[in-house]
Amino acid sequence: MSAAGDDGLDEIQGIFFEECAEGLAVAEQGLSAMAGGQVSADVIAGVFRAVHSIKGGSGAFGHMALLAFSHRFENVLDEVRGGAIPPDAAVTGIMLGAFDILSDHVAAAQSGGTPPADAAMLEQLDKLLANKGAAAEPAPAPAEPAPADEFGFAPVAVDLDILDDPFGFEPVAISLDDLAGEPAGGWTVRFGPSRDAMANGGEPILVIRELERMGGQILDADLSALPPLRDLDPEESYCVWTIGLPATIDEADIRECFDFVAPDSLIDIRRQETAPGAAPPKPEPVPEIAPLPAPALRVVETSEPAAPEARPADAPQQTIRVDLSKLDQLLNLIGELVIQGSILSDRLAPADQERVELPQLARLTRQIQDNVMSLRAQPIRQAFSRVPRMLRDLMAATGKQVVLETIGETTEVDKGVLEKIGDPLTHMIRNAVDHGIESPEERLAAGKSAEGTIRLSAEQKGARIIVRVADDGRGIDRARVRAKAIEKGIVSPDAVLSDEEIDNLICAPGFSTAETISNISGRGVGMDVVRSNVEALGGRVEIHSVPGEGTSFTMALPLTLAILDGMIVRLADQRFVLPLSNVVETVQPVAGQVKRVSPGSEVIELRGAYLPMRRASELFAIAEHQRRAPEESVVIIVESGVSGLVGLMIDTIENRREVVIKSLEDNLYPIRGLGGATILGDGSIALILDIDALIVSPGFNKFAPKGMAA
Amino acid sequence: MSRIEEPGIDERKVVTFTLGNQLFGIDMRAIVEIREWEEPTPLPGVPPYILGVTNLRGAVVPVVGLAERLGWTPSPIHARSCVLVAHVGGKQAGFLVDELADIVVINGADIQPAPDTGVNESNVVSGLARIERRQLGSEANDAMVLLLDLDAISLVRQIADIAA
Amino acid sequence: MTKLILTVDDSASMRMLLKASLTAQGFRIEGAEDGAEGLERMHEVKPDLLITDINMPKMDGFELIEAVRDVPEFRGTPILVLSTEFSDDKKARARSAGATGWITKPFDAAKLGAAIRRVCP
């Protein structure tokens, strides 16, 4: 089945799985819409096409189990599309189930794992097909040896058989009753292309050449049908050739040569002599001039325009597929343009700037930048679309009942951000079902409806995307959370904590309220991972909970990962960028405000509390003589997902601006403590600090083996 | 050098430069550009031969002290110091060299396999060739060029050192 | 003379797969991702052979074939349909639209090559 052979197949396969993911998202969305009563030809056609594409590629890449399942699923969808199977609630339910298994198949194909058990689902799909058989003609159904067991996947065989098969209608071919199959004599092939065999790009001579290559010889050319010259149409075909072929050739190979011959042509293939005693051949020379196919064709043709199939669901808008790296490059170039703009504005006096209309240029540049960023933006729907499936699984596992409401699915997010919020979102949903939503009995006892609600919403607020998962469950049990945090040593028993602080303990590293790790939340991953993932993106997580009424988790994410809102700070002679999302406040220490508590650690006193503080000059091993005293420095209070509030002492703050992030691994490799670099207006490079990585490095000594400015 | 020559033409252009007293050469095809020395932005946590990063037309490119990378004493910075920006294993990097010498054409047949050159990694020098060296104010004389295979000094290979 | 083939398929992986397997067999390949783009590319590259999928957004394979056949210049250009579908209806439709032949996906590279040579010397 390997089609491409070797090189690049993995890469192409990777693209195939991306397409599968897209297709699954489309299918799920469509099926969910159908389940919600929105049944339209467009929706059905969209689901059909998605499954159809998955099937197409799966065969090409040799994922036979996926091929077999998607094939059967597609057959059902085809019937739904054609109206033979009504898309009622029961059918939609089965299709949603089939979708889940299809997703599992895709995952298995991608990971090389074991395909899911799909026998029961296949049976259900077959039942649907069989039932509609009463209503419609059983056309494709018999093509399939029906109930296949798990490994006897009928569809595989079908697809392989039809490989390269000619236009469906048995093209007038007369099959020898070649029961004996003895290669007795040679083959005699009579070939009379139909009149219009040369229409549609057909070229009968190629068939004869191919037969000749197989060892064939033209024995005779019957020109009796040739009209007088004045009536002769050079684009029509009038000859009947008789060709002899060696006995050793397979009939199938000969037949294959006629794959693309016009359907109403004369094709007569027979043994010159059959072995005596073999079954008598059926020697009708069949010069049928396509009496059957032609009318059938016409019927199809005239009836088609009305058929819904003829108008495949139009994409809502025209789209083109662009290599993401091209967009990245474009964004980079615009970054350059922005930087050049700031160089100009640095160098020109305000009056000169006006004179050369620099502000207009800056405005245009900004517009282009926004536009390009919007090119990378995709609806958050893609991330949301995974949720319904997950909820179905969760409901089945917990026995809880949950209704999902989604709001703002069309909110657009940068593709890079989108790719990274899937996991946090998954955890938040799991957390909501696991810990938020009560069991139906508990809910009824509390005077709520048996079904819980999870509201998943997204909206853009300024330069941030706000994604919220809100449930109407029991709310955070603060007494329990507090007890647990004390037990785990996260807070001291006598700590005075606000409700908000207690709620936030859920995201503390190592905290997990589940008494037993449920099979759902699984893997023991807690909300701390959500927080650190989100913060790694330059975002924040907020928790709001009302006992008995519910809990909401809010992620505030940057619009893009390519541009960072940063604070430019100076240390010795070098400039650094601090992500503004980490910055809480800045402090200008007075004498005595910074205290050394041990040789390796210092604290800064802030409104009566002591926060750990690090000197960037020590982190970066700045030469002694260039280090400043605290009173000549600025301490930026940064918030880190891993260690809470920490002071970072730098020399001065220069300004705040958006910077274009350049990755260090493009030409080098990632460096711990740095989130990348950016190019400033004067063309110099400023390193972007990765606060989390900087702060967790114990003692930081490992971080700076090399003198910087020395 | 590790590259395959175009059939029929076994000549290659080589950029020659000095590190200390030794003449080195890098295949012209690997060179992106040659620029004057400019203090790069230092990076924390990198081996000493990575001098920092610089802005190459909007890309952040590392600058490598070639002498240190080869295990020699670091090049002193002076007015003629320059940086050869080259393709190295799909990435770009700048290499600090003492002084640019010339661009010469070397016939592939004249390249001899590298003997032990005292360079710390034997495969870094892919071969050596004798060339006529033009020098200001003096007559042309012969010189030996050590041809460097940049891919062999790929910086990626050094990640293990850094992690250690 | 290297034959130039235009492949029209909305799946990028399928286009790449076709390109990889056919380039290896000595064909030159151009691609388009739907019927509309395919028609445009026909005029641009004037291929020796068109291979098209059926189920595509915007202009589907049938419409593309009809549109191509409407152009006098392309009346004789062989057109192969490469589709996962294999119903007789569909094949008949493709034939009446003007297709030269039909190949069912998944394709085998060698067989596809042979099929191409069958319509495109």
pLDDT at position A140: 39
Q: Decide which of C33 and A149 is more confident.
A: C33
Q: Tell me: the pLDDT tens digits for A654-681?
A: 887 778 788 787 788 778 788 889 988 7
Residue with tokens 């197409």: A56
φ and ψ at residue B132, rounded to 5 degrees: -85, 125
Interface contact C78, partner A, CB < 8 A: yes
Q: Tell me: the pLDDT tens digits for B78-89?
A: 888 899 999 887
Q: Å from B13 to nearest chain A CA? A: 25
Question: Is it the case that residue C51 has pLDDT exceeding 90?
Answer: yes
**Closest chain A residue to the Cα of C49, Cα to Cα:** A201
Reference C13, options C37, C42, C33, C35; nearest CA is C33
Q: Where are the beta strands (DSSP E) in A492-608?
A: 540-546, 550-558, 563-571, 574-579, 583-587, 594-598, 601-606
- Please judge whether A669 and B156 are an interchain contact, meaning their C-beta atoms are less than 8 angstroms apart: yes
User: Kindly report the CA angle at A246 between A240 and A247, in degrees rounded to 5?
Assistant: 115
Question: Is it the case that residue B51 has pLDDT exceeding 50?
Answer: yes
| Element at B105 (helix H, strand E) | strand B99-107
φ and ψ at residue C8, rounded to 5 degrees: -120, 115
CATH number at residue B133: 2.40.50.180
Please give the tally of structural domains in chain B: 1
A678 CB-near residues (< 8 Å, 6+ apart): A564, A566, A577, A659, A660, A661, A662, A685, A686, A688
Question: Is it the case that residue A700 has pLDDT exceeding 50?
Answer: no
Question: Is it the case that residue A299 has pLDDT exceeding 60?
Answer: no
Interface contact A16, partner C, CB < 8 A: yes
pLDDT at position A345: 76
pLDDT at position A652: 93
% of chain C with per-residue pLDDT over 70: 98
Question: Is it the case that residue A97 has pLDDT exceeding 80?
Answer: yes
Q: What is the pTM of this model?
A: 0.45
pLDDT at position A460: 80
CATH class entry, domain A187-304: alpha beta
pLDDT at position A307: 36
Question: Is it the case that residue A525 has pLDDT exceeding 60?
Answer: no
Burial profile B80-93: b = 16 or more Cβ within 10 angstroms, e = fewer: ebbbbbbebeebbb
Q: Tell me, yes or no, whether B6 lies in a domain.
A: no
Question: Chain A neighbours among C 15-34 (CB < 8 Å)?
Answer: 16-17, 20-21, 24, 33
Q: Decide which of C106 and A15 is more confident.
A: A15
Asked if B touches C (at least 3 Cβ pairs < 8 angstroms), the answer reads no
> What is the pLDDT confidence band of residue B94, given thresholds at 50, 70 and 90?
very high
Q: Tell me: the pLDDT tens digits for A305-336?
A: 333 333 344 444 566 777 777 877 787 778 77
Q: Name the CATH architecture for the domain at A9-161.
A: Up-down Bundle (1.20)
Q: Tell me: the pLDDT tens digits for A385-410?
A: 888 888 888 888 888 999 999 998 88
Average pLDDT over residues B95-117: 82
> What is the pLDDT confidence band of residue B138, given thresholds at 50, 70 and 90?
low
C33 contacts in A (CB within 8 Å)? 320-321
Of A556-560, B145-149, C46-50, the range with the lowest mean pLDDT is A556-560
What is the ipTM metric for this complex?
0.84
In SS3 terms, A45-112 reads as HHHHHHHHHHHHHHHHCCCHHHHHHHHHHHHHHHHHHHCCCCCCHHHHHHHHHHHHHHHHHHHHHHHC
A335 contacts in B (CB within 8 Å)? 58
pLDDT at position B135: 59
Q: Are C38 and C67 in contact (CB under 8 A)?
A: no
Q: Chain A: which residues have CB within 8 Å of chain B?
A: 332-333, 335-336, 339, 574, 619-621, 662-664, 666-669, 671-674, 676-677, 679, 683-687, 702-706, 708-709
Q: Tell me: the pLDDT tens digits for B53-62?
A: 999 877 899 9
**Closest chain A residue to the Cα of C17, Cα to Cα:** A4
pLDDT at position C110: 77
CATH topology assigned to domain C60-121 = Rossmann fold (3.40.50)
Interface contact C111, partner A, CB < 8 A: yes
Dist. CA A28–CA A389, nearest whole Å: 8
pLDDT at position A102: 92
Question: Is it the case that residue B52 has pLDDT exceeding 90?
Answer: yes
% of chain C with per-residue pLDDT over 90: 17
- Which of the following CATH numbers is that of domain A563-703: 3.40.50.720, 3.30.70.1020, 3.40.50.2300, 2.40.50.180? 2.40.50.180
Q: Are A579 and A675 in contact (CB under 8 A)?
A: yes
Question: Is it the case that residue A226 has pLDDT exceeding 90?
Answer: no
Q: Are A601 and A698 in contact (CB under 8 A)?
A: no
* Amino acid, single-letter form, for residue A27: A
- Please judge whether B44 and A709 are an interchain contact, meaning their C-beta atoms are less than 8 angstroms apart: no
The range of the structural domain enclosing residue B100 comes to: 11-163
φ and ψ at residue A286, rounded to 5 degrees: -105, 90
**Domain-wise residue ranges, chain A:** 9-161, 187-304, 324-376, 387-558, 563-703
Q: Tell me: the pLDDT tens digits for A435-484?
A: 889 999 999 999 999 999 999 999 887 667 889 999 999 998 888 888 88
What is the token pair recorded at B7? 């059939």
Question: Is it the case that residue A60 has pLDDT exceeding 60?
Answer: yes
> What is the pLDDT confidence band of residue A269, given thresholds at 50, 70 and 90?
confident
Dist. CA A554–CA A660, nearest whole Å: 26
Question: Is it the case that residue C109 has pLDDT exceeding 80?
Answer: no
Question: Is it the case that residue A284 has pLDDT exceeding 90?
Answer: no
Q: Where are the beta strands (DSSP E) in A462-523?
A: 464-471
% of chain A with per-residue pLDDT over 90: 12
- CA B87 to the chain's CA centroid: 11
Question: Is it the case that residue A152 has pLDDT exceeding 70?
Answer: no
pLDDT mean across residues, chain A? 75
pLDDT mean across residues, chain B? 79
> What is the pLDDT confidence band of residue A424, given thresholds at 50, 70 and 90?
confident
Question: Is it the case that residue B118 has pLDDT exceeding 80?
Answer: no
Question: Is it the case that residue A611 has pLDDT exceeding 50?
Answer: yes
Average pLDDT over residues A571-594: 90
What SS3 class is residue A135? coil
Helix axis angle for A387-398 and A415-431, nearest 10°, is 20
Is the domain spanning A387-558 CATH 3.40.47.40? The answer is no
Question: Is it the case that residue A276 has pLDDT exceeding 50?
Answer: no
Residue with tokens 């951000």: A417
Of A291-295, A345-349, A630-634, C50-54, the range with the lowest mean pLDDT is A291-295
pLDDT at position B44: 86
